[in-house]
Structure 1
Amino acid sequence: MVQSRRNEKGDRRPRKKVYGYVLKIKEIRESKNISLNKLSKISGVSKSTLYQIENNDSKPYFDTIYKISRALKVKIDDLVDGIS
């Protein structure tokens, strides 16, 4: 599913969901002793969304993964554990 959203310039750009990868967000978050609440606050991603992503109940958009990687101070590649 592709949705559109306006960027800073007001242009519409497609938002793409990330499929086929196992995300290691929880593993990395716990290794850095960061709570779900704290990650939510520093990433700007809701706690419920983070919970769903960590439990593989939701496939995130790429920009969500980007926010999480910045908050955890890791490369996006570090969050991805191969093709599932």
Structure 2
Amino acid sequence: MEHEQIHKKIGKSLQAIRKARSLSLDQVAELTGVSKAMLGQIERGDSNPTISILWKIVNGLRISFTSLIEEEPAKVTHFRFENLEPFVEEEGRYRAFPLVPFDQQKRFEIYTVEMEANCTHISEPHNEGIEEYILMMQGELDITIQQKTYTLKVGDALRFTADQSHIYTNKTDQKTMYHNIILYPS
């Protein structure tokens, strides 16, 4: 797919931002000190604005410079399990696949974890405010937090603050699989 020329992208972004804020070209001209005619040319992609004009626009609208050239996030993202490289511990018997990577805006990440039979994994305490959500998909899992053990079966979920040591144990003779959602404080 051919990349769009930068001035066309800036024009589309500026127009989208202006419409999202219900501003007229006159109002944007007033906020930015850039003429209505110039703003119209920029939005249509007819003008390749100078950096100083772009700075007037971003300062007047109180937006970041890159917000004029950022790619719009995809409405659909397909994360394929088969393409993932796992983090491996316990001699390969504990595998954490980064299914949905961390996103600065959303503040979470999702792993698919596989644990072989009779495998134990000790997790160090995470930073304060971090929460974990465990959603069981296959097998059975014991999670020990502050000397209390919770047994999860298929379909179960567990939420806990992860700023304390926690131990994952698959005591069964079959593989266990679960999703681990890690939520970071803002």
Q: TM-score, normalised by structure 2?
A: 0.33
Which of 13, 31, 34 is matched with 1:42 structurally? Answer: 31
Unaligned residue ranges in structure 2 (runs of 5+): 72-186
Alignment of 1:7-18 (within 5 A): none
Flag as ranges the 4+ runs of structure 1 deviating above 4 A: none
Which of 58, 61, 69 is matched with 1:69 structurally? Answer: 58
What is the identity, as a one-letter code, of the residue corresponding to 2:32? S
Between the aligned residues of both structures, percent identity stands at: 30
CA distance in structure 1 between the aligned counterparts of 2:51 and 2:19, rounded to whole angstroms: 22
- Pair 1:25-2:14 in alignment: yes
How far is the alpha carbon of 1:60 from its aligned partner? 0.2
How far is the alpha carbon of 1:81 from its aligned partner? 3.7
Query: For residues 14-72 of structure 1, what are the alpha-carbon distances to aligned partners after superposition, in whole Å with 9 as ceiling and x for unaligned?
Result: xxxxxx41111010011011110000011000000000000000000001011111111
Count the aligned residue pairs: 63
What is the identity, as a one-letter code, of the residue corresponding to 1:50? L
Instruction: Report the equivalent of 2:41.
Output: 52
Specify which structure has the higher proportion of helix: 1
Q: Larger Cα Rg: Structure 1 or Structure 2? A: 2
CA distance in structure 1 between the aligned counterparts of 2:61 and 2:21, rounded to whole angstroms: 8
Specify which structure has the higher proportion of strand: 2
Question: What's the RMSD between the two structures over aligned residues?
Answer: 1.1
CA distance in structure 2 between the aligned counterparts of 1:71 and 1:35, rounded to whole angstroms: 14
